[in-house]
Amino acid sequence: MPLSSTSSINNRSENDEQIQTIVKNNDSQAKSDIGANIVLIGAPGSGKGTQSTRLVDRYQICHISTGDLLRQAAQDKTSVEGQKIRETIEAGSLVDDDTVMSLIEKNLTKPECHNGVLFDGFPRTIYQGEQLEKLLQSKQKHLDAVLEYAIEDDLLKRRILGRLIHKPSGRTYHEEFHPPKEAMKDDITGEILERRSDDTNETLNARLKTYHKQTTPLIEFYRQRNIHRLVDATQKISEISKQSIENINHLRQQSTSITQQIPARQTYDDGKILKIKSLPNQLDVDKNRLSNNFLSIYNSVTSVLRDRGII
């Protein structure tokens, strides 16, 4: 075999090995980047549902909506719990917190929740927040981030009260932001568009009043734990997603740093605590040195790939 052919094969082999190494490194980085426990807070019409879908996909976690859990449980006509929930909902009452927590705990054990959970519409009160905190701690878990999607009530009302729907197809429109070609008519069939039955000014005012009354103290509850971040929900969907991910990643790193700390050593004398002394984490390393090492490796790899004509 000619020398040039042997050299070419060797070069290709080296390139393949280098590419495989890079792919493995990227896979490792991707695996370390999945998983999170998140709470989303937002008034009706704030875009919370859209962001939920994106974040669940981004972090490969499960989505828990208490509304969905209660509806599913109410359909179970074989269990006592399902019957109790169904009767409560039909009576127009609120399902008690213990029942809701029981449903959440059952769902946390599902395989799809292994990487973490996005809680949508829960908790709503400080008591629920405390119960959720205890539940996660019992499973050696904790919340990484609480995102509040902030938007003025007036804009929310414009968003919600202008919604139109073509029921047969499910196509949606908006009087202001996405109007049909002809007022109150579906673009495809020409059939009359409708509004949702609960999209009224009276209903919305009541929902917003309840939302602010419940969530204002809850937000302060999470601020004290330094895991709350506010996101401007009036921006483009892509920008809201970007800021949400940035906030979650920052808070995850913060919580990881905290949980990696070794508990304080307590010194006792005749059963009394004399002194509490924090111990340094044996796993702590110089972050600047890590960054420099990474940059050095990255520059070396890119240099080789550039010389080989790969990049």
**Tokens 């213990």 sit on residue:** 98
Q: 195 catalytic, yes or no? A: no
Q: Is 163 known to be catalytic?
A: yes
The amino acid at residue 218 is L
124, 159, 229, 252: which is the annotated catalytic residue? 124
The residue from 48, 159, 229, 252 that is catalytic is 48
The answer to whether 149 touches 42, Cβ cutoff 8 Å, is: yes
Active site residue 207: yes
* Catalytic choice (84, 158, 185, 196): 196
Q: How far apart are CA 250 and CA 247, in angstroms?
A: 5
Which entry of 159, 163, 229, 252 is annotated as an active-site residue? 163
Strand partners, 91: none
**Cβ atoms < 10 Å from Cβ of 25:** 13
- Residue of 54, 58, 185, 207 with catalytic role: 207
Q: Rounded to an integer, what distance in angstroms lies between the CA atom of residue 139 and that of residue 132?
A: 11
270: burial class by Cβ within 10 Å (0-12, 13-18, 19+)?
Answer: exposed
Residue with tokens 């429109």: 173
Neighbour tally for 266: CB within 10 Å: 10
The contacts of residue 222 (CB under 8 Å, 6+ apart) are 39, 129, 146, 228
64: left (phi over 0), alpha (psi -120 to 50) or beta: beta
Active site residue 48: yes
Token pair, residue 296, equals: 């050095």
Peptide bond just before 123 cis, omega within 30 deg: yes
d(CA 265, CA 173): 61
Catalytically annotated residues = 48, 124, 163, 196, 207
